[in-house]
Structure 1
Amino acid sequence: MEDTGILENQHFSDIQKVISEWQVKIGEQVVRIRITLDNNGYYQFYTSHHYQSPELAGRVTSTNGNLGTETEALLAAERQIAGMYNPDDKKSTWIVNTSF
């Protein structure tokens, strides 16, 4: 990552550069994906929503950290969004990720 010295501040605990943002539609839900590069050189991903089905114990989330490339981060985000998605499950919901 480029020099982040300009952002060095005692109050900042983390610096990440936004590399890309994507938007996908799955069923009727629009989900946004944000890929960042942290100050250790790893790619992270964040999604705007998490899928939750009554058949699952909780919402579907993945750890989002320490990936080697932007492509790996996008693939991990795709797995999180679509991995357990069932278009026939009318009781499932999409939970807003308040950290996005």
Structure 2
Amino acid sequence: ESVEVDGFNRQPASGSIPKEADIFWSHCWTDERQLLQRKHHSVYLKALTDALHDAQRRKMNLVDVQMRVNGAIFEHNRRNPGAAYSIDVKHTLRKNLYLD
């Protein structure tokens, strides 16, 4: 059988993302049953919002901000093992990025 590869079969256009680009990716997920609960509030969005507001006041590094979010998620999971969140963070930052 023949396998077809998705994507470009020629050089990518000049509008593509360069391999040396700085990218920061963070996302979180949880079980659907939690999201369907009547008074559910996203622990991830609350932690992210709080950390970003604090970071702006204190001019924190973006990676340090994410570490605070991770800590809040891990603490929530420790206290609520039946209502756990999963988090995934990836970045290609080559320099410190501070929020101002």
Please indicate the TM-score interval, normalised by the length of the shorter structure: 0.3 to 0.5
User: Between Structure 1 and Structure 2, which shows a larger proportion of helix residues?
Assistant: 2
Q: TM-score, normalised by structure 1?
A: 0.34
Q: Which has the larger radius of gyration?
A: 2
Q: TM-score, normalised by structure 2?
A: 0.34
User: Between Structure 1 and Structure 2, which shows a larger proportion of strand residues?
Assistant: 1
Greater RCO (Cα-Cα under 8 Å, separation 6 or more): 2
